[in-house]
């Protein structure tokens, strides 16, 4: 631990109990400890890590918005609280309240997969079979976000650019189709036809835009809390629902609970379908087309092997047909990869 991090600890009165990450090379620290009698978790990044430093600040700003909306009675969103944010010298820090309990997800670093995002789609074995208290907690938070509309866009001026593009150029879609060896023209046509629905401000609500199982926490009292809000902003109100559903492809019982309780109208089915296209294309664009391999032949072979038979590809093709077609994939291709 270097001198500047020691100064941060002294400045905020933090007493470390356990260092979860303490990397001198990456100038990065995550530690559990106490400030007074409060159990807290602190994250620290060097400002040379521009993305991570900005993420800490964005999460802090998002948490302040959550606090305000909850205090004004606009929302009753249950989240892990951020208690303090600041900068000391070349280091930025964020302090969160620490809760006893378990993440909904299994450890992403332990999932063996060539597919980066696939590492974030496994949940802890103790939560694989849905229970009423956990499912009610997750659904409740999803519905709260879904209904948190009419927010001033200026509140999220720190998050001007959304995470998932609302449309993709024909060149990008054609490149993905070429590498996967599939026809994505029906998907491209549907996404284009859905632009008015996707961009309609009446459908915008506060969304985390990053609702992976790793960002859901279950306290020892079985309270469900969402966390990690660096991507939070205004999006159509079905984006978090769709993203979480897609990531839970290994768990059809969980998928059914989510759809049964959050998708209830034709507009919501259309938004779910359009969002599924947006999210899958985003993942494939970033982790399929930019995969660094020695030559095109090896690259094509890799992509076809990892992505071509993945259930997300089946979801993507089904989304070009109908919402019902997506649900049929869920029921008949539960194992994801052939």
Report pLDDT digits (tens) over 208-246: 999 999 999 999 999 999 999 999 999 999 999 999 999
Q: Is the pLDDT of residue 334 over 50?
A: no
172-205 confidence digits (pLDDT tens): 999 889 878 889 999 999 999 999 999 999 999 9
Given this model, what pLDDT does residue 178 score?
83
**What value does the mean pLDDT take over residues 160-170?**
88
Asked if 311 and 185 sit in the same domain, the reply is yes
25-84 confidence digits (pLDDT tens): 768 899 999 999 999 999 999 999 999 999 999 999 999 999 999 999 888 999 999 999
Per-residue CA distances from 1 to 8, 29, 108, 140, 191 (Å): 11, 8, 26, 41, 50
Asked if 313 and 326 sit in the same domain, the reply is yes
**DSSP per position, 261-295:** HH--SHHHHHHHHHHHHHHHHHHHHHHTTT---SS
Q: Is the pLDDT of residue 288 over 90?
A: no
pLDDT bucket at 267, cuts 50 / 70 / 90: very high
Given this model, what pLDDT does residue 295 score?
56
pTM of the model: 0.92
Q: Is the pLDDT of residue 333 over 80?
A: no
Asked if 135 and 60 sit in the same domain, the reply is no
CATH number of the domain residue 325 falls in: 3.90.1200
As given in the structure block, the two tokens for residue 217 are 């926490």
Among 98, 126, 142, residue at a domain's last position: 98
- Give the CA dihedral 117, 123, 129, 134, nearest 10 degrees: -110
Asked if 171 and 66 sit in the same domain, the reply is no
Q: Is the pLDDT of residue 157 over 90?
A: no
Q: Percent of the chain at pLDDT above 70?
A: 88
As given in the structure block, the two tokens for residue 272 are 């779910």
Give the structural domain span for 7. 1-98
Phi first, then psi: what are they for 66, rounded to 5°?
-60, -45
Q: Is the pLDDT of residue 303 over 70?
A: no
Phi first, then psi: what are they for 188, rounded to 5°?
-60, -40
Considering the chain, what is the average pLDDT of its residues? 89
Given this model, what pLDDT does residue 21 score?
87
Asked if 115 and 203 sit in the same domain, the reply is yes
Asked if 120 and 187 sit in the same domain, the reply is yes
CATH number of the domain residue 51 falls in: 3.30.200.20
Q: Percent of the chain at pLDDT above 90?
A: 72
Asked if 61 and 136 sit in the same domain, the reply is no
CA gap 293, 286 in Å, rounded: 14
Among 81, 98, 115, residue at a domain's last position: 98
**What value does the mean pLDDT take over residues 274-301?**
75
Asked if 70 and 108 sit in the same domain, the reply is no
6-27 confidence digits (pLDDT tens): 999 999 999 999 998 887 776 8
Given this model, what pLDDT does residue 180 score?
82
Comparing CA positions, the residue from 143, 151, 156 lying closest to residue 76 is 143
CA gap 304, 287 in Å, rounded: 13
Given this model, what pLDDT does residue 335 score?
45
106-140 confidence digits (pLDDT tens): 765 555 555 556 678 889 999 999 999 999 999 99
Adjacent-strand bridge partners of 226: 79, 216
Q: Is the pLDDT of residue 247 over 50?
A: yes
Q: Rg (Cα) of the chain, in Å, rounded? A: 21
**What value does the mean pLDDT take over residues 150-177?**
88
The helix, strand and coil proportions of the chain, stated in percent and rounded to the nearest 5, come to: 50, 20, 30
CA gap 271, 255 in Å, rounded: 17
Structural domains of the chain, count: 2
Asked if 131 and 176 sit in the same domain, the reply is yes
Among 40, 68, 98, residue at a domain's last position: 98
Per-residue CA distances from 103 to 67, 213, 214 (Å): 22, 8, 6
Asked if 143 and 285 sit in the same domain, the reply is yes
Given this model, what pLDDT does residue 283 score?
87
Asked if 168 and 71 sit in the same domain, the reply is no
Asked if 296 and 149 sit in the same domain, the reply is yes
């Amino acid at each position: 631990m270097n001198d500047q991090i020691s100064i941060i600890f002294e400045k905020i009165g933090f007493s470390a109990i356990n260092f979860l990450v303490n990397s001198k090379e990456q100038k990065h620290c995550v530690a559990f400890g106490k400030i007074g009698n409060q159990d807290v978790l602190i994250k620290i990044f060097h400002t040379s890590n521009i993305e991570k430093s900005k993420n800490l600040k964005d999460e802090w700003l998002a948490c302040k918005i959550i606090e305000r909306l909850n205090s004004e009675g606009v929302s009753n969103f249950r989240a892990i609280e951020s208690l303090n944010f600041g900068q000391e010298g070349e280091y930025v820090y964020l302090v969160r309240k620490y809760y006893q309990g378990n993440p909904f997800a299994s450890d992403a670093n332990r999932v063996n997969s060539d597919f980066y995002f696939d590492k974030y789609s496994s949940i802890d074995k103790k939560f694989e079979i849905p229970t009423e208290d956990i499912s009610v907690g997750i659904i409740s938070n999803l519905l709260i976000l879904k209904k948190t509309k009419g927010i001033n866009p200026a509140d999220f001026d720190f998050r001007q650019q959304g995470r998932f593009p609302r449309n993709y150029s024909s060149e990008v879609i054609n490149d993905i189709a070429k590498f996967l060896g599939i026809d994505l023209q029906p998907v491209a046509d549907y996404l284009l036809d859905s632009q008015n629905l996707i961009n309609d401000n009446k459908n915008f609500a506060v969304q985390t835009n990053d609702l992976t199982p790793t960002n859901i926490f279950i306290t020892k009292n079985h309270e469900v809390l969402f966390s990690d809000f660096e991507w939070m902003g205004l999006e159509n109100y079905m984006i978090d629902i769709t993203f979480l559903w897609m990531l839970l492809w290994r768990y059809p019982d969980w998928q059914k609970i989510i759809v049964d309780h959050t998708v209830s109208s034709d507009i919501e089915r259309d938004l779910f379908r359009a969002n599924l296209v947006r999210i899958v294309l985003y993942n494939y664009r970033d982790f399929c087309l930019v995969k660094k391999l020695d030559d095109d032949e090896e690259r094509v072979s890799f992509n076809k092997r990892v992505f071509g038979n993945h259930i997300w590809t089946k979801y993507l093709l089904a989304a070009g047909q109908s919402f019902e077609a997506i649900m049929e994939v869920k029921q008949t291709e539960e194992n994801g990869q052939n």
